[in-house]
């Protein structure tokens, strides 16, 4: 965690270490992660996969694709708000 020390203590690190120890693949969507950017802390949401690389029965590394889904999360929240507003308007009409 030398390159991203702000991840220390976040739940995603516990899962990363579990995958490295046990060799079990892990997938999760919409994972909140807090990162240090531009002198402050920013929250992001990511779809993550931790896939162990196993050679001759030993875990030799870890593949970790991550997709930033913050825009999708925000769009989903706006859609939910619009649906709630529409329901309220229809019920009062």
**CATH code, 56:** 3.30.450.20
pLDDT number for residue 25: 95
What domain range includes position 52? 5-92
Q: 9 — alpha (psi -120 to 50), left (phi > 0) or beta?
A: left
Q: pLDDT by residue (tens digit) across 35-63?
A: 888 889 999 999 999 999 999 999 999 99
What's the structural domain count of the chain?
1
Residue 1 confidence (pLDDT)? 57
pLDDT value for 38: 86
Determine the straight-line distance between the first and last CA of the chain, rounded to whole angstroms: 56
Residue 18: pLDDT band with limits 50, 70, 90: very high
Q: What is the pTM of this model?
A: 0.77
Q: Quick check: helix, strand or coil at residue 24?
A: coil
| pLDDT average, residue stretch 16-31 | 94
Question: Hey, is 74 helix, strand or coil?
Answer: helix
Q: Which two tokens stand for residue 7?
A: 């991840």
Other beta carbons less than 10 A from residue 50's beta carbon: 21
């Amino acid at each position: 965690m030398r390159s991203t020390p702000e991840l220390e203590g976040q739940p995603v690190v516990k899962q990363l270490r579990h995958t490295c120890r046990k060799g079990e693949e892990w997938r999760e969507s919409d994972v909140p992660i807090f990162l240090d950017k531009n002198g402050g802390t920013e929250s992001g949401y990511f779809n993550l996969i931790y896939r162990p690389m196993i050679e001759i029965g030993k875990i030799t590394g870890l593949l970790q694709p991550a997709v930033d889904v913050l825009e999708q999360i925000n769009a989903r929240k706006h859609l939910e708000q619009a649906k709630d507003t529409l329901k309220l308007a229809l019920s009062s009409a």
